Structure 1
Amino acid sequence: MTTKGEAFAGLSVALTTPITNGEVDYDKFGEQIEFQIAAGTNCLCPVGTTGESPTLSHEVHERVIAFVVEKAAGRIKVMPGTGSNSTAEALRLTKFAERVGADAALQVAPYYNKPTQKGFYEHFRVLAEECGIPQCIYNIPGRTAKNMEPETIIRLAELENIKLVKEATGSLDQASQIIAATNLTVLSGDDSLTLPLMAVGAHGVVSVVGNLVPGDMLQLIAAVNEGDFARAREWHYKLFALCRDMLGLATNPIPVKSAMQLVGRDSGEMLLPMTPLEPHEVDVLRKTLTAYGLL
């Protein structure tokens, strides 16, 4: 079935933001973008949770969006995080992203203030009606403290500019309900759930481990799309330890930043209150990376 956001199906990578001495390292950032383009990644998602958006100033947030769009230069899609728990703030960031040439906007559900289902609907309705680029709803109740119920998302799918959902509830039932009732393009918000979600009709993933191994995530996605579930399971289990460590060792993006440092592609520096892995956690991660063949 054709879906509204099918141009964004496949692998989107939730980019880390390289930091050196407390500032964004744009030279290193450019290298990361080129790495993803060379790998065949479908879409870049800067300034999401993995990109440390909660600790970047609004000025730097906008600068990063403009930088990634400029570096991508039309060679790869760009879907930056522009969400907020303030509708006015999300609208301002999204209009900025649209103005500088982003292809879509990733909109995390309003967090902390815990809106009602009506509040969720009205928030996303404003963004859909007042912005011209496709909107990807990002439902992650583990971080926002409130689930957007399937009925709300199904209602939002009636709006022309709501085209995608990043599904990070961990509920196969919720994802199935959305897929069955809408023509939204559904992307997994959890690397380790890419295969099961695609098996019920999702269309790809917004990936954290894709910062390290985009080619392998692309192989998993291709195997599912080709109906080769035996090969897809092989890739799922090969990737599983990496996915486990990215989610289990500490809060995202701490483990992936540490992994990028260990493989020599990032300083590992983060902005407070995010702090590095403890030494024993680094040892676990190093063993996983070595077993995978990355070290």
Structure 2
Amino acid sequence: MTHDHPATPDRGLSRPFGRLLTAMVTPFTADGSLHLDGAVQLATYLVDEQGNDALVINGTTGESPTTTDAEKDALLRAVVEAVGDRAQVVAGVGTNDTRHTMELAAAAEKAGAHGLLVVTPYYNKPPQRGLLRHFTAVADGTSLPIMLYDVPHRTGLAVETETLVRLAEHERIVAVKDAKGDLTATSWVTSRTDLAFYSGEDSLTLPTLAIGGVGLVGTSTHFTGALVKQMIEAYDAGDSGTALTLHRRLMPLLTGIFRSPGTILVKAGLNVSGLPAGPVRPPLADATDDELALLRADCAAAGLDLPE
């Protein structure tokens, strides 16, 4: 056993949403309709079998660009009822319209969400002062804790360090889903604020822990959740050797799930595993046979079986 830092279970860090979260896909029926019973079954599996401390509902992985506000509300209510007594349910409410985001935040709070995930406004590329106003307005309008989602490769815009430092002053902005892929920038923010940083890149979970991160909001964790949680707990306990072994073992799947948008391959893997997922909605496209074969190879390389 390798002890590279004191064996303190939480490393003195705040974990407002636990260690492991999965950004859950939204199950659809064969005709593309919302499959609420499937969502309940999948959420239960992710919490009870894969060990998630929280689930993110209505995120990008949940195909939020193509679900209606009414569908988002129905999905959130079903998942809260199914697992909300033993896991936190975090509602994705971010849009590129501040008023719409505030409306979704209010609806999510009314539906029983435990927290909100608010993505950087996309496409319209506001200045940093606009981001500050946007996130602050959403936080002012809710009583729920907020996780910011910094994902410049999707939104075209990063939340800069100084903006994050200022946002951290708001009592309800407590965490960041960090998909920036800039560990130097993240290091500056974790050293200057109390924001809880969750890796938004599955493969960067362990490096993020090393610079003060607290966990993962994952996609491959539909399959790897139990092992990723074991990796995080090993690191927290001071056993960096075990954490590194698990990180290396899981790398083929932590990275391979993103050969195409993660939703596509997660749904393909769940479907062949007998778990509810169904098709993706256009403009996404369901996995090809070749893509599914590569996913099976990634799973096998990580020591996990995907049924034929």
- The TM-score normalised by the length of structure 1 is 0.95
Q: Distance between the aligned counterparts of 1:240 and 1:213, measured in 2?
A: 10
Match for 1:186: what amino acid?
A: F
Q: Distance between the aligned counterparts of 2:21 and 2:103, measured in 1?
A: 23
Choose which of 198, 219, 224 in structure 1 pairs with 2:209: 198
Residue 2 to residue 126, structure 1, CA distance change in 2 (3 Å): farther
Q: Distance between the aligned counterparts of 1:120 and 1:235, measured in 2?
A: 37
The yes-or-no answer on 1:282 pairing with 2:292 is yes
**1:130-209 paired onto structure 2 within 5 Å:** 130-209=141-220
Q: Distance between the aligned counterparts of 1:272 and 1:29, measured in 2?
A: 19
Percent of matched pairs sharing the same residue: 34
CA displacement at 1:94 relative to structure 2 = 0.6
Structure 2, unaligned stretches of length 5 or more?
Answer: 1-10
Q: Distance between the aligned counterparts of 1:6 and 1:287, measured in 2?
A: 34
Structure 1, unaligned stretches of length 5 or more?
Answer: none
SS in 2 for 1:138: strand
Choose which of 63, 70, 73 in structure 1 pairs with 2:81: 70
Q: Which moved more, 1:52-61 or 1:283-292?
A: 283-292
CA displacement at 1:117 relative to structure 2 = 0.1
In the alignment, which residue of structure 2 is the partner of 1:257? 267
Consecutive aligned runs of 4 or more in structure 1 exceeding 3 Å deviation? none
In the alignment, which residue of structure 1 is the partner of 2:4? none
Q: Distance between the aligned counterparts of 1:293 and 1:72, measured in 2?
A: 25
Choose which of 265, 278, 281 in structure 2 pairs with 1:271: 281
In the alignment, which residue of structure 1 is the partner of 2:239? 228
Q: Name the structure, 1 or 2, with higher relative contact order (CA <8 Å, separation 6+).
A: 2
Match for 1:81: what amino acid?
A: G
Q: Which moved more, 1:204-213 or 1:255-264?
A: 255-264
The yes-or-no answer on 1:8 pairing with 2:17 is yes
CA contact 1:140–1:168 (8 Å) conserved in 2: yes
Q: Distance between the aligned counterparts of 2:69 and 2:111, measured in 1?
A: 15
SS in 1 for 2:198: strand
Choose which of 114, 118, 122 in structure 2 pairs with 1:107: 118
Q: Distance between the aligned counterparts of 2:166 and 2:174, measured in 1?
A: 12
Q: Distance between the aligned counterparts of 1:293 and 1:6, measured in 2?
A: 28
In the alignment, which residue of structure 2 is the partner of 1:210? 221
Q: Distance between the aligned counterparts of 1:251 and 1:6, measured in 2?
A: 28
Match for 2:24: what amino acid?
A: L
CA contact 1:260–1:266 (8 Å) conserved in 2: yes
In the alignment, which residue of structure 2 is the partner of 1:239? 250
SS in 2 for 1:78: strand
Match for 2:161: what amino acid?
A: P
Q: Distance between the aligned counterparts of 2:86 and 2:193, measured in 1?
A: 30
Match for 1:9: what amino acid?
A: G
Bigger fraction of residues in helix: 1
Residue 89 to residue 2, structure 1, CA distance change in 2 (3 Å): farther
- Give the count of matched residue pairs: 293
Q: Which moved more, 1:83-92 or 1:255-264?
A: 255-264
SS in 2 for 1:79: strand
In the alignment, which residue of structure 2 is the partner of 1:23? 33
